[in-house]
Amino acid sequence: MHDRQRLRAAGKTIVGKVRPRNEDAILVREEIGLYVVADGMGGHAAGDVASTMIVARLESLPPSSGLDALQIQVEAVLQQVNRDLRTLARQLGVVVIGSTVAVLLCDGVRTICGWAGDSRIYRLLEGNLQQLTRDHVIGEQQATGRRIGPVGALTRAVGACSRLEMEWLALEHGAGTRYLLCSDGLNNDIGDAGLEAILRQCESPSDGVRRLFERISGGEGRDNISAILVQGGLE
């Protein structure tokens, strides 16, 4: 029998120091255990429309009967957003309107991660940071922006292909575990060692998010930057 944990979370998104607009969007729904980071694809038309659409649709989801049912609901929503973005791209005469997505579902006992693209989910357990997601990219990412195509490109994103291929991972939620969802602007600027140090030191999700963005403020901050920190405590 596992002890159910009460989850606390905090999130923030900023435009950064260079980009003209924020193409990231985040969602924190503690009441149903749903957390989302979406990163509109730079260099494509309406990247902010794509990320905002993902978050808005998931924000309207009703409470589910459990984590597995919630995963099915989220998958269905993202598949519909994928179709709608493909239709919008055809209407506007552009190749792709898309966004990465990272989704964390947690009920205090189990955790399900879902993602497409290079927005990441990390887990800090017993002081050790682990990247739960794997980036859907070919070759090295380019600082000038990501695209669906040859080397240096995303291989998966919402809106990129006729059918969205989400990757899912299910695991038990350990006591004291912290999860970090972030767009690539955060991990590119701070690095995994820096993320681990901050997540070890922070006292709460809000404190952790504050520390992350204080660290970002001293760097280049070239990209849009988003982060959600989720932490469990025994009820």
pLDDT at 60: 95
pTM of structure:
0.90
pLDDT at 3: 55
pLDDT at 234: 43
pLDDT at 61: 95
pLDDT at 59: 97
pLDDT at 176: 84
DSSP 3-state of 32: coil
Running DSSP on this structure, what letter comes out for residue 148?
B
User: CA-to-CA distance for 219 and 48, rounded, in angstroms?
Assistant: 24
- Domain range for residue 58? 5-234
pLDDT along the chain (235 residues), means of 10: 73 80 93 96 75 97 93 98 95 91 94 97 95 87 46 84 96 90 93 96 95 83 86 62
pLDDT at 46: 76
Q: How many CB atoms lie within 10 A of CB 6?
A: 11
- Cα separations (Å) of 152 from 71, 136, 173, 199, 223? 30, 11, 34, 29, 17
pLDDT in tens, 66-120: 999 999 999 999 999 999 999 999 998 888 999 999 999 999 899 999 999 999 9
> Six-digit token pair at 32?
């149903």
- Is the distance from CB of 30 to CB of 8 less than 8 angstroms? yes
11: domain CATH number is 3.60.40.10
Domain tally, the chain: 1
> Six-digit token pair at 109?
């006992």
User: CA-to-CA distance for 180 and 231, rounded, in angstroms?
Assistant: 9
pLDDT at 31: 93
DSSP 3-state of 81: helix
